[in-house]
Structure 1
Amino acid sequence: MTSISVSNLNFAYDKQSIIQNLSVNFAPGKIHLLIGENGAGKSTLLKIMAGLLPKFGGKLTGKISIDAKTSMMFQDPELQFALPTAYDELIFTMENLKVSRETYKDKINHVAKFTGISHLLKQPLAQLSGGEKQKVALAILLVMDSDLLLLDEPFANCDLASRRNILIKLKKLVKAGKTVIIVDHDLPDYETLADEIWLFKDKQLHQLTNEERTKLFKQLKQYSKVKFSLPQNQKSIFNFSNTVIKQQLPLIEVSTQKIYQGKITLLTGENGAGKTTLFKTLTKMHPYYGNLTYKSKEIKGWHLKPYLSSVAQVFQEANNQFLEITVQEELTLSQKKQVNPYFTKEKLAKSLEKLGLNKLLDHSVYTLSGGQKKKLQILLMLLNNHDVLLLDEPLAGLDTASRQIIINLLSDIQKQTNQTFIIISHQICELAPICNYHLVLAKKGLTYVQNGGEDLES
C-alpha cells in the first residue's frame, strides 16, 4: 500500500519561504483534497512530491518519503503535451514505459472511456477546448497506472457534469488501491467524495475536523438555482445571421441571434461545444461563413488593429497573455496603452492590494501561482479601455475570496464604463448576480435562457 510521509519540510523560492516545518502523513487509499488561498503553497507541495522541486528550482530541507509510483497532472494541461493528438500522446507514454504493443489498444480504450475522450483521440490537441485538454492530460496520467496521482486543478475548465463523472470514477480507483491528492477550488462535489480535506494556511497543512468540514460545505450551499432576464429591445453589438463556424465539421450554426451592448452576458455550454472557438471568431482568429457583424459592420471588413483595440480577449491560459518578465513590467506596459478611466492611481493600488499582487511587483510572472497569474492577467486586460472584453474562464483556479474580488471588480467597472463583457464560465451561480443575460451554446445554436445552475450542465 502507498506510503506518503513528510517530515520537517521547508521550501523557499530564492528568499520567499513557501513551506515551513511541515510534517504530515497522507493515508493511502484515499482522496485527499488540498484547499487554501492562491499562492499558499498547494501546487508547490505537489511538485515536491512529484520530484520536480527542488530539481527545477528552489531550496528544500527536511524529508519526504513516497513508497509509490507517482504521476502528476499540471494546472496547464498543455505542459504535458508534445505530440499532435491524444492518441499519439498515449502511444508515446506507453512506449516510454515499455508497455507491450499487444496491450496498447485495450489500455487506450480503457482510459479514453474512463475520461470521456474516445471521440477526441485522433483530433488535433490544438483544436480541443480547455476542458477537453484537461481530460486528455488525465488520460495520459491514468495510462501510466501509477499508485499515487497528484492532480493540480484538474477540472478547472471542465463542465459540471464532466467533473462530477470523473470524480466518481476516481473514487472507484481509490477503492481499488490508488491514492489521489488533488488541489481544487470548486468544492461542492467533494462533500461526499473527499476522504480527507487539508487547508493550506500560514505555510502549514491543517486537516479539517468533521465540524470544520460541515461548516465549509454549509457555506457553499448558500448558492441556489438562479434566474436571468431575457433581453428585450436592447441595442446589440454583435449580430449573427446565418452564421456558420467550423472546426473541420460545422461547430456552430446560428440563423439569427444578437449579443447586447453595455451588458454582461454569461456564456455556458458543455466542453467542446465551441465556446472558445466562438471567442476566437469574435477576435478575428478563426474564420466564419455567413454574416457576423460588430457595430453593424461585417467583422471580416474590419482592419485588424482598430478592431482589436476595441474587442479583446482574456485567454484561458494566463501565460499566453504575458509579454514582459515581472509583474511591474506588465503593469507598466498596460498603462502605456489607453487606460480604462475606472483605474485612477488610487483604485489601481487598491485593486493590487485586494488581489494580493502589491507585494509581488518585482516577481517574475512565471514564478507566480496559477491563481496569482490569473488575477494579474484579468487586471491587465481590465486596465486597457476596450469596448468589448471576452473573458474565457476568468474564475478558473481562483480561491473563493479571489473569485468574489474579481466578480466585484468586473461589476464596478462595467457600471462605471458601460463596457460589454462576455464571460465563459462554469461558475454560474457565483456570476449570476452581476450578469444581465445567460446565453447557452448547445446543439450548435445560441439561446438565451432564464434558468441557471447545474441543471444546464447535467
Structure 2
Amino acid sequence: MIELKNITFSYEGRNQGGLRDINLTVKDGECILLCGRSGCGKTTITRLVNGLIPRFYAGGLTGQVLVDGKDIADLTMYEIAKKVGSVFQNPRTQFFNTDSNSEIAFGLENQGMPTEKLRQRVETTAVDLEIQSLRNRSLHALSGGEKQKVAFASVYAMNPDIYLLDEPSSNLDMDAIQDLRKHLKFVKQQGKTILIAEHRLYYLMDVADRIVYMEQGQIAGIYTPEQFKAIKKDERERMGLRAVDLHEVHPQFTSPGVTEDKILKLQDVSLFYRKQAIVEHITLSAGMGEVIGVIGHNGAGKTTLSRTLCGLHNDTSGQFLWNKKPQDRKKRLHRSYMVMQDVNFELFADSVEAECSFGIRNPDKSLIEATMDGLGLLPYRNHHPNTLSGGQKQRVAVAVSMICGKELLVFDEPTSGLDFDSMEQVALLIQKLSAMGKVIFVVTHDYEFVCRTCSRVLHIDHGEQCDDLPLVPDNEENLKKLFSI
C-alpha cells in the first residue's frame, strides 16, 4: 500500500510543479492514472514515491509518504529500489549502459544476482515483453520508442512490487502503445501496483482502477473509468485533457496555406546507416504551406528521414530539389530548422526568452514576445529551460522554429509529453506556419495531432514508402487503418 499523508512540496527556485495538501491511498494491486495539465504535479507524486524527492530534487516538504507502512524518508535508495521501479519520460536519463542486454541486466547486477540466474531473468524478460528483436542492440542505434521498451524491460526484470511510469507512451507508435497496455495488464495480473502519469488517456481506460485529476498541485477529482469517460468532450478539453476514445477524433481537413506549385521534390531518395539501407526509393513533392505527417512503426526510419531533410544525415542517394534547384547538405542545413524528439539537445540559453533568440541575428523582439505569449511561455520567460517540464521544453523549441524564419520546418514528435492545451497551441502554431507558406514535416505517432494539423500523411514502414495519403474526407477510414484504430 502507498499512502501520501498531508503532502505539501515546493521545488527550490521554482513556482510550478509542486503539491499542496495531497492525501491519497493506493491499495496493493491497484492501477492509478494521474492526469492533468503539464506542471500540475503528476510527476512530483511519482518522485515522492520513488524517493527522488527530497534526495535528488531539493525543496520544502511536509507530510509523510508511506510504502507498506514504512516512511520513505527512513529507507535507503537501495531499499526503495527493491520495491519501486521507475520508467521516466525520457528513457535516456535512466540508462547506464551502451547496449540493451547490459541495460536490462543492470539493476539485477546491482542486487548481486548470480550470473546464471541473471542471464535467465534477462531472457525471460525479453520473451515476456516480446522484445527479442531488441536484444544485443546498441542503445544509441534505437529509436525513442525502442529505448522506452528497453527502459520498461529493465524495470520489469527487477520484479518490483510498485511500477511508476511517467508519460511512457510519449515516444511509442500505436502498436507499441497497445503492447504497453498489454504489459501493464500483465503486471497488474501479477498483483503489482501501478502509478502512471500520462497525457494520452485512451489506452488506459480499461487498465486504470481510478483516475486522479490534478490542478495546480492539488487533487481536483478522483474518478472511476466509467465516471471519467462520461465527462463531456468540451468539459474534458477545458480540464486540459486529451481524448479517451480515438474513434471519436476526426480529421479537421485544415490546410490554410497549401499551394498547387510543388517547391520541394525528393526523387528516388534512399537513406543508409553504416552502409545498411534504412528506407529506399522515396519520391514525393510538397507545395508551400503543406503539412505532411510522417508515420510508421518505431525504428522505421522516420527520424532519419527528418534529419536528412535538414541536412543532418548525409548517407543518402537520390536528389533533393528546392524550386527545381538541387539542394546539397549545406543548402538543406541553411534552409531548414528541426525541432528534435529530445529537445534537451537543442536548448542552450539560460532563460526561455534568451533561448527564443539564441543564434538568430537581429531577432524581432515583438515576434519573440508574441510567440511566447501564444504558447503560454510568458510566465516562464526568465526561467532556465532545464527547470521546465517536458511539455514546456517542447513548447520552447517549437517557439524557436517560428522565430528563426526558415522555409522548411521539421518537427520530430512535437507533442511528446504535451497536455491537450499545449497540443492545441502547437497545432495552431503549425497552422500559422502553414499560412506563412512554410513546408512542414511532422514525424509523429499522435493521431489527435495529425487530425488537427496535417494536409497529408506519408507512411514509411518495412524500409519503403508505403502510402502517401491526402487528408480529405473520403480518406478518414484509411487514416484510421494506418493508425490501427
Both structures adopt the same fold (TM-score exceeding 0.5): yes
* Alpha carbons 1:270, 1:457 under 8 Å: kept: no
Structure 1 CA distance for aligned equivalents of residues 278 and 92 of structure 2: 23
Q: Quick one: higher RCO (CA 8 Å, sep 6+), 1 or 2? A: 1
- Superposed CA deviations along residues 94-131 of structure 1, whole A, max 9, x for unmatched, are 21121121123332222223444311222211111111
Which residue does the alignment assign to 2:382?
362
* Alpha carbons 1:228, 1:449 under 8 Å: kept: no
Which residue does the alignment assign to 2:167?
153
Gaps of 5+ in 1: none
Structure 1 CA distance for aligned equivalents of residues 122 and 232 of structure 2: 37
Which residue does the alignment assign to 1:322?
347
Which consecutive segments of 4 or more residues in structure 1 shift more than 6 A? Answer: 227-233
Structure 1 CA distance for aligned equivalents of residues 128 and 406 of structure 2: 42
Query: Offset at 1:433?
Result: 3.9
* Alpha carbons 1:6, 1:63 under 8 Å: kept: yes
Gaps of 5+ in 2: 69-79, 237-242
Alignment of 1:112 onto 2:129: no
* Alpha carbons 2:250, 2:451 under 8 Å: kept: no
Which residue does the alignment assign to 2:10?
12
Give 2:318's match in structure 1, choosing from 291, 312, 328: 291
- Superposed CA deviations along residues 45-81 of structure 1, whole A, max 9, x for unmatched, are 2112111111122221111111370011111110111
Which residue does the alignment assign to 2:40?
40
Query: Offset at 1:298?
Result: 4.5
Alignment of 1:53 onto 2:79: no
- Superposed CA deviations along residues 207-243 of structure 1, whole A, max 9, x for unmatched, are 1256641234866347445497999964141313252
Query: Offset at 1:38?
Result: 0.6
Alignment of 1:208 onto 2:223: yes
- SS of structure 2 residue aligned to 1:53: helix
Query: Offset at 1:12?
Result: 0.8
Which residue type is aligned with residue 2 of structure 2?
Answer: I
Query: Offset at 1:245?
Result: 2.5
Tell me: CA distance 1:244–1:426, structure 2 relative to 1, closer, same or farther (3 Å): closer
Which residue does the alignment assign to 2:147?
133
Query: Offset at 1:333?
Result: 2.3
Tell me: CA distance 1:200–1:242, structure 2 relative to 1, closer, same or farther (3 Å): closer
- Superposed CA deviations along residues 137-157 of structure 1, whole A, max 9, x for unmatched, are 111111111110110011101
Structure 1 CA distance for aligned equivalents of residues 383 and 448 of structure 2: 34
Tell me: CA distance 1:199–1:273, structure 2 relative to 1, closer, same or farther (3 Å): same
Which residue does the alignment assign to 1:31?
31
- Superposed CA deviations along residues 261-297 of structure 1, whole A, max 9, x for unmatched, are 4311111001110101111222233233421314145
Which residue type is aligned with residue 41 of structure 1?
Answer: G
Structure 2 CA distance for aligned equivalents of residues 36 and 78 of structure 1: 24
Which residue does the alignment assign to 2:334?
309
Identity %: 27
* Alpha carbons 1:149, 1:179 under 8 Å: kept: yes
Structure 2 CA distance for aligned equivalents of residues 367 and 333 of structure 1: 18
Q: Spell out the pairing of 1:303-452 with structure 2 (5 A cutoff).
A: 303=330, 306-333=331-358, 336=361, 345=366, 348-415=368-435, 417-446=436-465, 447-450=467-470, 451=475
Tell me: CA distance 1:224–1:367, structure 2 relative to 1, closer, same or farther (3 Å): closer
Normalising by the residue count of structure 1, what TM-score does the alignment of the two structures yield? 0.90
* Alpha carbons 1:246, 1:252 under 8 Å: kept: no
Tell me: CA distance 1:312–1:23, structure 2 relative to 1, closer, same or farther (3 Å): same
Query: Offset at 1:259?
Result: 4.0
* Alpha carbons 1:72, 1:151 under 8 Å: kept: yes
Query: Offset at 1:441?
Result: 0.4
Which residue does the alignment assign to 2:240?
none
Structure 1 CA distance for aligned equivalents of residues 260 and 433 of structure 2: 24
Structure 1 CA distance for aligned equivalents of residues 254 and 34 of structure 2: 37
Tell me: CA distance 1:98–1:302, structure 2 relative to 1, closer, same or farther (3 Å): closer
- Superposed CA deviations along residues 286-339 of structure 1, whole A, max 9, x for unmatched, are 23342131414544x343xx5323111100011111011221221242654565
Q: Spell out the pairing of 1:208-247 with structure 2 (5 A cutoff).
A: 208-209=223-224, 212-216=227-231, 220=243, 221=245, 223-224=248-249, 226=251, 234-241=261-268, 243-246=270-273
* Alpha carbons 1:43, 1:369 under 8 Å: kept: no
> RMSD value over aligned CA atoms?
2.6
- Superposed CA deviations along residues 426-450 of structure 1, whole A, max 9, x for unmatched, are 1224322432211100221223024
Structure 1 CA distance for aligned equivalents of residues 292 and 225 of structure 2: 39
Range moving further from structure 2, 239-248 or 200-209: 239-248
* Alpha carbons 2:357, 2:403 under 8 Å: kept: no
Normalising by the residue count of structure 2, what TM-score does the alignment of the two structures yield? 0.85
* Alpha carbons 2:351, 2:381 under 8 Å: kept: yes
- Superposed CA deviations along residues 350-395 of structure 1, whole A, max 9, x for unmatched, are 5434533211122221111111111111112221101101100001
* Alpha carbons 1:168, 1:193 under 8 Å: kept: no
- SS of structure 1 residue aligned to 2:22: strand
Count of aligned pairs between the two proteins:
447
